Structure formats: structure tokens, C-alpha cells
Structure 1
Amino acid sequence: MSDESEGVPSGGALTGIRVLDLSRVLAGPWCSQVLADLGADVVKVERVGQGDDTRAWGPPYMKDAQGDDTLEASYYQSSNRNKRSVAVDIASEKGQEIVRALAAESDVLIENFKAGSLAKYGLDYASLSRINPRLIYCSITGFGQMGPRAQEPGYDFIIQGMGGLMSITGERDGAPGGGPQKVGVAVTDVMTGLYSVVAIQAALLAREKTGRGQHCDMALLDVQVAALGNQSQNYLSTGVAPGRYGNAHANIVPYNSFHASDKDFIIACGNDSQFAALCGAIGLPELATDPRFSRNENRVRNREAITQILSTHFKRDTAEAWVERISKVKVPVGVINDIAGALSEPQVQARGMLVNIPHSMNQDFKMVGSPIHLSDTPVEYKRPAPLLGQDTEAVLSEYLDLTADQLSQLKGDGVVG
């Protein structure tokens, strides 16, 4: 997949892999951004004149060098770096021919159109796999390619509700602010993007053995149900659907946020020895030998009692003071940051999670980087999210050997932009 010299790969881990990205909004673009970060050449196909839906999802917008708003939405910027943008009208026959020709030269195609809707353009898996049998074709939809709801659009918010996540997120009924809540990030979209990366890379490895591509059928609802983890297994074990615990944990106590004299902080006490260490650190060693609390199963049964004792005690000092004492005995603990606080955490800074990727409108453009750290093939930040159609001529010339006259004709006909 990539050139090597003395056993050291040249470029990213996926250098040499061509990805044709027909997706928009978040799940698909998140998937293709991870592949691009890993070195794949990702060509993002967008609608002429409009582009990805999220280009219009502002404010906020990226600032230019003078600090003024551009028309580049921050939402779009968050999931489209390291890609090239080609604007093509796939509703036109010539546009469809271009996409088919690009697919013939690609290793992977990602799309998130409604199930079956690309067949009318001859851009479905069955059609393109005849042209390119090695193509890995990843479809990302709300409900998958089969089932009673397969034809329906599915957005993250709807899936968080349908998939059970909101039923276990938020304060309990009757508590202040009680009721189901969505997560503050479109977490189902992000998880689906990541699962899709896994599926695509598995299909690439399988192709090394078989020589054939395959269809990856990825659904947001499937991913959300799979990601319920211990909560769904708790239900399968008991027949009782888990409820909401706010910031508490269904199976571990204390595993919660607490209010100190100034602000909130979190304790995640995972076992009995950590609980004993916690009790000593905060000046309540007697709790560790109290039969109501000495073992986790008893703390779960006596959740209200231990939570009340700790909540009252923690109001006596500041969050930072408690964090300092508790961290010294190796019990997981931390303050609750806002986004600004999270990005300024010394550990986040030390890990290089904020990166500068010069943009044509702002040379000091910054974004959150990839969490993937590879020793031999590190992530590279080659370009920020592209302007709409900025790479149309370069990509079509490179992939399809189109001449300047042919490109001019296509532009004049409105087929590309």
C-alpha cells in the first residue's frame, strides 16, 4: 500500500488507499476523516454550488486572519480535514459517469444516501462492484439496508432516543431537571463513523486474501444498540430495563459527581480497595469498615446513604483541594471542565491534541487533532477542510486524465464546479 525504505513505511499507514467519499453531515465524514488522517487519499464529492449540508450549519464560522467571520462553518471544519473536494452534479448523466469513473480508480467508497436511492444513478454497490470488483463500498444509514424502517432517514438525535441511550441519560424522574437527555455531542454519529473505519479496514485486510471488495452495511441504530454495553446486558440478565442515574453508575458506588464548596468534581471508585483509600484520603476511614459500605455490592444497595454522607462531607472544602488529596492515593478523580478548560488541560496540551493547520483564509487556524498515535506511521495534518470544489480540476485530471478543455466544458455545462 505504500513505499518502504529499510522497513520504515513512507507516509501514513493508509498511504496509497484511495477513498471516494459521497457522504455528508457527520457519520460518513467522520469515518473518512479518520481514514484521511491515517494517510488515505480522500476525495469528497459534493453538490455543485451547495456542498455538504454542514457547510451551512453556522454560526459559528471559522475566523479569517483579521478575526472576521468567513462562510466556512465550524461544524463542517470539524470533520473534513485532510480531504480534497470535488463538486459534481450526480443527478446528471455526465456527473454519474464521472463518479463511476472515479469509483473504478478507488479502493473504498463511502455513502450515506437513503437505502437503495443510488441504484437509480447506477452508483449502488451492485453496479459499481461490476466495474471495480475490488471496491469496498461502505453504506452508512440510520437503519441499515434492510428491515421495516430501512427507507427512512435517521438522524443522531432520533437514534439516541430509539436506541435506548436517552432512557439512561439524565437525572431520574422526580429529581430536579429529571427526564431523558441526549448526549451533548452527536455521539451515535461519531461512533458509527468509528465502527465504519473498523469495517473498512477489516474489508481491506480481507481483500488482501481474496482479491475481492465487499459491501459494508452500517446503521446508526445498530451501533447505538451495540454501544449500550453493560446496560443492555444488565437488562438481559434481569428483565428490568435500566433507568437514569444522572451522573451515578448503575453498578458501582461511589461513581458520581459531587459538589464541593465551589464547584463540582467527579470520583470514579472502581473497587473496594480504592474505596478504602478514598475514605482514608478524605478523613472518613470508618466508612471503609462499615458493613453497609465495605463491599461494592453493599454500597450499591445503600447508594442513597453513602451518597448523602459523602455529599455533605465534600461541601467542607474546594474541588481542587479534594482532587489533590484523592489523586495522591491513586483513586480516579477530576474536576468537571467546560470545553475551554478541557482544551487547556496540561495533559491535553502535552499530548499534542491541539494542532495548527494553515488555511488559505487564516494561517493560524487551529483544531482538535487525532487521538491516534502510531510510532512508525504517525497521523499527518496535510490540509484543512477544503473549500467547495477547490480540487475538482486537480482530482479529475489526476484520476481520469481529463484535459483542460474537457474540464472547461464540464464546468460550462454545470456538471462540475
Structure 2
Amino acid sequence: MSEILNVVLSDQPAPAQWGKSKISFSGEGACIHLSEGEPARIIQSAARKLTGQGIRDVALSGEGWTRALQWRFACGFGEALEPGTIAWASDAESLDAQRDAALWLKSLTHASPEALSPEVLADEVAERISAAAPEHVTTRRIVGDALLAAGWIGVHAVGRGSERPPVLLELDYNPTGDANAPVSVALVGKGITFDSGGYSIKPSAGMVTMKCDMGGAATVSAALKLAIKQGLNKRVKLYLCCAENLISGHAYKLGDILHYKNGTSVEIVNTDAEGRLVLADGLMAANEAGAERIIDAATLTGAAMTAVGSDYNALFTPCDSAATDALAAAAAVDEGLWRLPLAPLHADKCPSVFADTANSTTQKGGGAGGASNAAGFLSRFAGTPPKGWIHIDLAGAYVGGNGLNHEGATALGMLTVAKLLQDA
């Protein structure tokens, strides 16, 4: 007898003896009942319940399994260290590619901070994406004090407190055969491999999950890998801003002034608002490349999660057409994305007497509107690319476990970014 559980769908309620359950079992396997409620959420919740019963190998069988519903089952199935196996009802090749990218994203995010130093993160991404298209990928790493010589003072400042040096990875995917081809999209990812908060130190409970603070880097890297697998034929540059935010005699401090290469001076009033400092370098690098569109992703603010919860990521852009594109991409792949305010006034929400701006405010979480204020800070460095700048604050990137997701990385946002790459 096969140990793989067959899972089918039904638009009828469960038999009376199963009460209000959305899952029933028979000798043939399990049936998910979609008679009431939102099918996608019912299916994802059912996948969690099957996982909770110790089931690790399933086959999705019968009618009704659209590509989108199969993916929602995959989002709820398995555990962080035991993803299990899924035999798809259809679209196996494309769904395998999506799951492979998502599981890679999760493996990066779940890696211990001791194992995943900034250099290891940069090397792993360079190796995996290069392997996906070896003839079309070139990479360059700027490490440690070489960042200062190159003018990338944000990544250097945040990472200099660690014995393991910070890194800016530049990866160029160019399938056109033209060395002078325009850069269609530049991706920028926050790669803080561990965030203690620096001298604005986090409490222990808030620090225990901070291996996930490179979730932005994992998201854009996995999205690019997936898009390449899907046949991406446009030139894309990827910038990962990788550092450990630790405390030492070398660490950056409150009151320091950083002078960025675009002329902006920044007073440090909170060393735990480090993500925006490294992203500033990545955004400027993307503009130097002449990218037609810039997309950054980051586990940037707790305020974003307060605003939209873990079922959505937060979208910020000053460009209405870019917002339309991003929301349409998210809808097409059934991912939650919600636009929050970003106006010119938000660039001035972190005032400083001693510099052009501070990196945050002294209030916890950056004060009221903290996610918009962080985006406003980034707007000072994002430039005005022709097709707009899109900032995604990954509110739903990492959860404590719930009825829809296992504890840890969710991969929410990966499909949206991959779709934006394909549509660029």
C-alpha cells in the first residue's frame, strides 16, 4: 500500500459525522470540502491540519485543483525542517520550480546566523543564481574596508562591529548577449544576517528571530532565480546589502554622522534602524546602473506588520503606475500586497539638527507612521527611475506559526517580484 496520501477537493459539505470539519477521510485518502468560505484559505488551512497529523507525503488528485489552489496547499504544507513532498495534479514543472525557489528562500532564512555570515550569504546567492544561467551571470563582491573606498558607507557602518566583514554583492544577469543592454530592473535586498540592534540593543525576545533579517535578500534572490527558470529574457541586476549588526568597540554609535556618496548626511539616532542605512547604498548602486525600474525588499519595520498583519506585505512607491503594476502582479499570483502612504513629506519625518536627516526618530518603532517614515528616508536615495521605484516592506515574511503557515519564513512576496520581472 502506498504511503502517499491522496488529497481531493469537493464542493460539498463533509458528511454529517464529520461535523463542521473542512477535511474528511476515507479509504481513498483525504477530502477537503470547499462548500463555504474562501477556497484558497480553506485549502491552506487544511494543509496545515494534515501536516499537524504527521503527514509528509501527499498527491493532489481529482478535479478542481487549479494551479493557484495547488500553490496555496503548498504554502500551508510541511514544517520548516520537514517540507515534505507533493505530487501535483497538474502544472508539475512550473509548480516544482516555484517550490524549489521557495524552499531555497526558506533554507537561507532559517539558517543559523553563525552559519550564514554576510560573505556566506553573498557567496550562496552568487553560486545558486550563476548555476541557473552560467553563461549569462557575472558577479562582483565588495568586502570590508573596500566598501569605504567604493563609497558604500552605509553597509560598512552597519557591519563594521562584527569580526565577519560586510559585503555588497552585485550580480548581473544579462541574457541579451549585448554588454551595453539597458538594465530593465534592479533588485535590492536587505541582507542583515543577524540584527542585535547594535547599541540600541533589542530585548532577548525580539532578537531571537533576527536571523530572518536577511529575508529581503532571500526574497529578491529567490524571485530572480525563479524568473530565470521561467525564461526571463531581460537584463536584471541584483544588489544584496549584507552585514551583521553587532556590538563591539568597532561598532557604529548613536550620534555618528554618515556622509553618503549622493551628498546626503545622516545622523544615527537608532542603531536598530540599520536596514535603511544599507538599502540606501543598494538603491544608489541601482541608480548608477541606470535601471529602468528599481525594486527593493526588506524586513524593514515592525510598523508595517502592525499596519497590514502577516497576510500582506506593505507596498510603498511615489509612482502610481508602479503601484498599479505591483498590485496587479500580486493579484495575479494570489499574494497579499497593500499600498501604504508615501508622500514627499515623509522624507522629512526623521529630522536632525546635525545632518540632513536622522535615520529614524527616538520614539520606539520610529513613532507614528514608522513604516512610511522609513520609506521616506529611502526616497532620498531611490532616485527617479523611468518606470518607478517599488519598496516592499516584508511584513509577512516571517511568522510565529499560525493556522495557515508553519513557523518561520513564508516566502510571501517572492512570486510578486518574479511576476514584476517577467512583466517589466
TM-score by length of 2: 0.24
* Structure with more relative contact order (C-alpha pairs < 8 Å, separation 6 or more): 1
> Comparing both structures, which one devotes a greater share of its residues to strand?
2
TM-score by length of 1: 0.24
